[in-house]
Amino acid sequence: MEFTETSKKRRTVREFTDRPVPEAAVRRALAAGLRAPSNAHLKSWQFVLLRDPLVRRRAVVEALRARDLRDPAEIERFLERFAEPELKRVYRHSLPVQQTMMLQAPEVLLVCYQMKPITECHSLFELNPLASAWMCVENVMLALAAEGLFGCTYTPYAAAELKAFLGVPAGFEIAAVIPFGYPREAPLPNEDEDLESRLSIDGWPQANQPSMIPPPSTSSSR
């Protein structure tokens, strides 16, 4: 599939069929992740797949403490901390299935990366290991989309107990927990964003300048 079409196809999915994911497809996606660029070319990434049902349940329920928040009043109390309507909309959809999506997905992937403690980082530059880990994550997600597979990138609020349970060594962190598989329902198409409103040339757009980008030419050259 053309890359542009793959990027349009890539969507977040939280509900899956029980159809097994071919091992070859998993390995192609992880290999694509390893082709991502990284800070200082270190690629200090490790993948963990949670396949044993008992191990996965203990990891998700007891160590990660993921839970499905389904009481509408409790959900609204949680959302009071956010101002953005779109963020609230997403959480209303995702909070009721946070645990379920990890327990029922055919595959659950952890992407780990090596980095010094966040409390010792004093500049954005020192966060490069985290940034490059997410380049790896996105390569994986795009490769899965090309295979007709989809998932959700869940960022742990606190991962100390999960790391301890899985034996993740000191110095490594968990960038994302990714349940994935074949979607229960076909994802809605990815709508194109308004590029012109987000792009400027040679500087930040000023408030009195609606756009710094000349409109596309409609004339044809000979």
Give the separation between CA 222 and CA 218, rounded to whole angstroms.
13
Residue 11 lies in a domain: yes
Residue 90 lies in a domain: no
Q: Give me the pLDDT at residue 189, please.
A: 79
Calculate mean pLDDT across residues 77-101: 93
Residue 178 backbone phi and psi in degrees, to 5: -125, 100
Residue 25 lies in a domain: yes
Residue 29 lies in a domain: yes
Residue 92 lies in a domain: no
Whole-Å CA distances, 26 to 55, 90, 107, 159: 19, 27, 9, 24
Residue 93 lies in a domain: no
Give how many domains the chain has, as a whole number.
1
Decide if 154 contacts 23 (C-beta within 8 A).
no
pLDDT digits (tens, 9 = 90+) for 62-85: 999 999 999 999 999 999 999 999
CATH number, residue 22 = 3.40.109.10
Residue 87 lies in a domain: no
What domain range is 7 assigned to?
3-66+105-185
Residue 167 lies in a domain: yes
pLDDT digits (tens, 9 = 90+) for 104-153: 999 999 999 998 888 888 999 988 999 999 999 999 999 999 999 999 99
